[in-house]
Amino acid sequence: MSFVTIVYSMIAAACLTLAAVHLPVWWRNRDAPASLAFSIAALCTAAIAGCELTMLTTQSTAVYGAAQRWSNVPIVVLLVALAAFSYHYLAAGRRWLAITGVGLRLVSLVINFSAGQSLNYRQIDELKSLRFMGEQVSFAVGVLNPWQAIGQLGVFMLMLYFADASITAWRRGRRAAAFFVGGALTFFMFASVTRAFLVYWQGVQSPSMVSLFSLGVVLVMGYALSADLLQAKRLVVELGEREHEANLAADAAELGIWTRDVSRDVIRASGKWRDLFGFPPDEKIDLEALLQRIHVDDRGDFRDRLAQAARDRAEYHAEFRLALPDGRMRWIAAMGRVDVDAKGRTMRTRGACIDITARRSAEQEMLRLRQDIAHVGGVSVMGQLASTLAHEINQPLGAILRNAEAAALFMQDPAPDLHEISAIFEDIRKDDQRAGEVIDRMRALLRRQEVTKSPLHVAQVLGDVRQLLRPDATARQVALELAVSADLPTVHGDRVQIQQVLLNLIINAMDALEGLADRPRSIAVSARPEGAASVEISVADSGRGLEADQLDRVFDPFFTTKAAGIGMGLSISRSIVETHGGRLWAESNLGQGATFRFTLPVAQDALA
Ligand code: ADP
């Protein structure tokens, strides 16, 4: 076998091998178009080597012409692949240069198949013998095709494109890539144009050797890609270590971490997360499996929060219950982020979760205690009030009874002394008045509780109350909605007392919803300015509502319809609101339920 055959065959074999290595890389990672461009360039170089070997070794002008004509196909594809490689790898250079270069080369391909024996020769007259690599090889002599200048101009434009891309990449600091890859591409184009000029226009005799130059470029490109692969591998190792450290920190903080690849719907999760959500270590998890773990009442809310975070490109925060396969329930606090691509499509969802069951049960316990205390407090208030009432009212009631008995006696007289009787009735009226005053004094006593008024932000007070009531509302499956006007001025009042009023109104509203399943279980609390000098706060529910005659009576002390009710809440609330210079009243909703409204005066500073 001749040396030339060995060299050209080796070029082809080397290039095929390189293509075979890099094509699968691209196949498994379609985001790497440079690997595809490189593989195509290598395949084309192998094809060019095959054509050139035929040209060098044939004795027939027809075979030479055909091989040269067909070699132009892989040459054009090679140039497109090189331009694409440079475009993706160097990410620089003026595109119009590349497009013009490739365009001219494509035009020359049409000429290649439509005029003469090939792009280079209209007609090959004879094959001359030439010494190359110590052997005799064929070289064509004939009538040149002047249109080949178009193809050569195309290569020249590509040379400019590669030079431009190299300079820009160099300036951007990618010196090695610019020097080796950009330099090799530019040099290859320069050598091709120069050789074509010398051989076809200056009559220099040279065998066809495009594949030799091209091999050089392919090797440089291959080296650059392999260096990138090695770098990527190093990064993967580093990343693995970082991930290990992050997992360690997360485990120490008892945090479970999960990431969902949206396109494949696969969730990757740390061991702690699997423990929390009750998934075995090797079970495959998708979004549906995750959602199924969440308690059915909390699932919709969590889904909404994820969707909201994707829309707003913001973080999500959620607290929800897990219904574990073994029947246990676990409270989870979760936060995370939804990553979107440039077009706004969700790519990944990530999250960190922590078990808050202990905290939640402590909160529940606190709530229970608070309720107990409130109840005990209420009972003792009632007891005190009852005994004071009994004591203070006993006297006028006794007097009324005695007077009534005396009047009855007088009436038995056939000629009763009407003056005496009317005096007795006057006494009865006075005693009755006294009894009324006792009750008024008691209410005044309630009003006289010490208050410390200061400017208050209603939104803040409402927020605090919601915070206090959240566990209660969740447990009773009631949605608490807050709506506060943006332009709300500060009010003047005692924070604790206003909170007491709100707590009382909202707990009453929850009680009114108790046991009703045929309607949305929601309570809307809103605050808006009422005129310039006051703010109106309302608590509206869709509960069992109030009869027309109850609208006022509910504010009477001891009016209650509840089995364990005391009936002092609204009465005390009204006293508090009135002490603040406001009003508290009840309305029946047009549809279902009742609305309690109260006003509070705007703080003087806010009025100024
Ligand atoms: P208690 O809650 O101890 O009964 P309150 O003075 O707070 O005392 O309430 C008095 C009564 O007013 C309640 O028993 C109930 O019948 C009625 N009530 C209060 N709020 C509402 C409401 N939102 N819807 C229907 N009835 C209500």
Q: Which residue has the higher pLDDT, 167 or 579?
A: 167
**φ and ψ of 132, to 5 deg:** -150, 125
Task: Give CA–CA dist 160/154, Å, rounded.
Answer: 10
Residue 445: is its pLDDT beyond 60?
no
At residue 29, the 3 state secondary structure works out as coil
What was the pLDDT predicted at 448? 45
Q: Is 83 in the pocket of ligand 1 (CB under 6 A)?
A: no
What was the pLDDT predicted at 1? 66
**Residue from 492, 483, 506 nearest 570 by CA:** 506
Radius of gyration for the chain, computed over Cα atoms and rounded to the nearest angstrom: 46
Task: Give CA–CA dist 203/144, Å, rounded.
Answer: 11
Residue 468 in tokens: 């206090």
Q: Which residue has the higher pLDDT, 364 or 511?
A: 511
Q: What's the 563 CA to ligand 1 centre distance in angstroms?
A: 11
Residue 48 in tokens: 């060019």
What was the pLDDT predicted at 186? 94
Residue 53: is its pLDDT beyond 90?
yes
Residue 372: is its pLDDT beyond 70?
no
Ligand 1 pocket mutation pick from 560, 566, 573, 595 by most atoms within 8 angstroms of CB = 560
Residue 37 in tokens: 């461009």
What was the pLDDT predicted at 430? 80
pLDDT tens for each residue of 162-199: 999 999 999 999 998 899 999 999 999 999 999 999 99
Residue 368: is its pLDDT beyond 90?
no
Q: What's the 501 CA to ligand 1 centre distance in angstroms?
A: 13
Q: How confident is the model at residue 25 (pLDDT cuts 50, 70, 90)?
A: confident
Query: What per-residue string of b and e applies to 204-214 under the rule 16 or more CB within 10 Å gives b?
Result: eeebbbbbbbb
**Residue from 127, 135, 185, 180 nearest 159 by CA:** 185
Q: How confident is the model at residue 371 (pLDDT cuts 50, 70, 90)?
A: low
**Residue from 302, 305, 300, 296 nearest 329 by CA:** 296
**CA 203 from centre of chain:** 68
Q: What's the 509 CA to ligand 1 centre distance in angstroms?
A: 8
Q: Is 565 in the pocket of ligand 1 (CB under 6 A)?
A: yes
Q: Is 355 in the pocket of ligand 1 (CB under 6 A)?
A: no
Atom of ligand 1 nearest to the CA of 554: 12
What was the pLDDT predicted at 405? 85
Query: What is the CB neighbour count within 10 angstroms for residue 540?
Result: 20
Cβ atoms of 294 and 323 closer than 8 Å = yes
What was the pLDDT predicted at 410? 81
pLDDT tens for each residue of 280-336: 998 999 989 999 999 998 998 998 988 888 888 888 888 999 999 988 899 999 998
Distances (CA, A) of 304 to 266, 299, 310, 344, 481: 20, 9, 10, 17, 16
Q: What's the 465 CA to ligand 1 centre distance in angstroms?
A: 19
Residue 375: is its pLDDT beyond 60?
no
Q: Is 601 in the pocket of ligand 1 (CB under 6 A)?
A: no
Q: Is 541 in the pocket of ligand 1 (CB under 6 A)?
A: yes
pLDDT tens for each residue of 126-157: 999 989 888 899 999 999 989 999 999 999 99
At residue 34, the 3 state secondary structure works out as helix
What was the pLDDT predicted at 193? 92
Residue 603: is its pLDDT beyond 50?
yes
Task: Give CA–CA dist 354/129, Å, rounded.
Answer: 82
Q: Is 566 in the pocket of ligand 1 (CB under 6 A)?
A: yes
**Residue from 221, 224, 140 nearest 188 by CA:** 221
Q: Is 12 in the pocket of ligand 1 (CB under 6 A)?
A: no
Query: What is the CB neighbour count within 10 angstroms for residue 215?
Result: 25
Q: Average pLDDT over the chain, rounded to whole?
A: 87
Query: What is the CB neighbour count within 10 angstroms for residue 238?
Result: 10
Task: Give CA–CA dist 170/92, Å, rounded.
Answer: 10
Ligand 1 pocket mutation pick from 480, 502, 508, 521 by most atoms within 8 angstroms of CB = 508
Cβ atoms of 142 and 122 closer than 8 Å = yes
**Residue from 6, 72, 24, 17 nearest 222 by CA:** 17
What was the pLDDT predicted at 341? 77
Residue 20 in tokens: 């075979």
Q: Collect contacts of 510-514 with beta carbons under 8 A, ≥24 apart.
A: 510/472, 510/473, 510/476, 510/478, 510/541, 511/543, 511/562, 512/541, 512/543, 512/544, 512/545, 512/593, 512/594, 513/476, 513/478, 513/541, 513/542, 513/543, 513/544, 514/476, 514/543
Atom of ligand 1 nearest to the CA of 539: 23
What was the pLDDT predicted at 59? 94
Residue 48: is its pLDDT beyond 70?
yes
Cβ atoms of 120 and 108 closer than 8 Å = no
Q: How confident is the model at residue 369 (pLDDT cuts 50, 70, 90)?
A: low
